[in-house]
Chains A and B, each alone.
Chain A
Amino acid sequence: MNLLALNILLALAWMAVNADFSLTGFTAGFILAHLILWLARPLFPKERYFRRTWGGAAYAIWLVKEIFVSAWAVAKGVLGIGPPIRPAIIAVPLEAKTDLEITLFACSITLTPGTLTLDISPDRKVLYMHAMFAADPDQLRDDTKAAMESRILKVLR
């Protein structure tokens, strides 16, 4: 992650040149420096920095959208106007291996309303989640893996 250090250093240089030591100055400098580094990305062929930052931002936006969509479903379930709730505990085989990948996946599951990470098996191969709307548990397991886990792995690997 030395590109992050470089990015921050360039942002500090921007602040010094402008004599603007405020949060706004830092943010502007950071964004500008990021764009410049991005233009110069052929210089860093093995660097995952851009995939991580841009992919991470895209993932965060997608996650917020998911939170809204499923919060709406849970709200309807609570008020009893949507499809009836049908809870189940589902075993999800994990492709994520490292601590970071598993933590991010587990937290994303819990953050999206309607699903909750209950436990991870001690051998870290299976994640158990409790879902509120699991009329078709196998479908839900496949959806969660395809939509959420594959996105996380794409950003982190």
Chain B
Amino acid sequence: MLEAYQALIGILAVAGAAFCAIAAIGLARMPDAITRMHASSKAGTLGCGLILVALALYFPSVDVAARVVAAILFLLLTTPVSAHMIGRAIYASGEKLWSGTGRDELRGTKDDPGERLNG
């Protein structure tokens, strides 16, 4: 039982580290700024979340668990906001999308932030 518990902690921690590593690889491999954002911000959040859960299981006490829950909540609250703002800034600055991008239903419409924000 104890060994299974420790194995679970190990699996969570290693999986979290693996997602963080994949996020880093994604930064190098993805073709344009917005797809790099996909790799870094989200896979990174999941990686951090898994490592934090492993931490809470490794120190089974209420105050560690409470802090882990708070940390995960803040990650989930702040990541989408910053990812949204950075993504929007990338798009508004007129950064070219990767040539393999399918359709773009925003560029050139009345809602295009590049037009709205830059005048």
Contacts and interface: CB of A to CB of B under 8 A. Distances in A.
A and B held together in a complex: yes
Interface of A: 22-24, 67-68, 71, 74-75, 78-80, 85-91, 106-107, 110-114, 116-119, 121-122, 126, 128, 130, 132, 134-135, 137
B29 A116 contact: no
Given A24-B62, A78-B39, A113-B43, A128 B116 contact: no
Contacts of A74: 26, 38-39, 42-43
A90 B103 CA distance: 8
Interface string B31-55: 1101101110011011000000000
Where chain A touches its partner, the secondary structure class is mixed
B105 A130 contact: no
B22 A134 contact: no
Contact of B84 (A86, A88, A116, A122): A116
Contact of B34 (A23, A130, A134): A130
A78 B102 contact: no
A87 B43 contact: no
Nearest to B101: A87
B96 to A, nearest CB: 12
Given A89-B103, A122-B116, 4 more contacts: A23-B63, A85-B30, A113-B43, A116-B84
Given A71-B46, A78-B26, A119 B38 contact: no
B80 interface: yes
A85 B101 CA distance: 9
A88 B104 contact: yes
A45 to B, nearest CB: 32
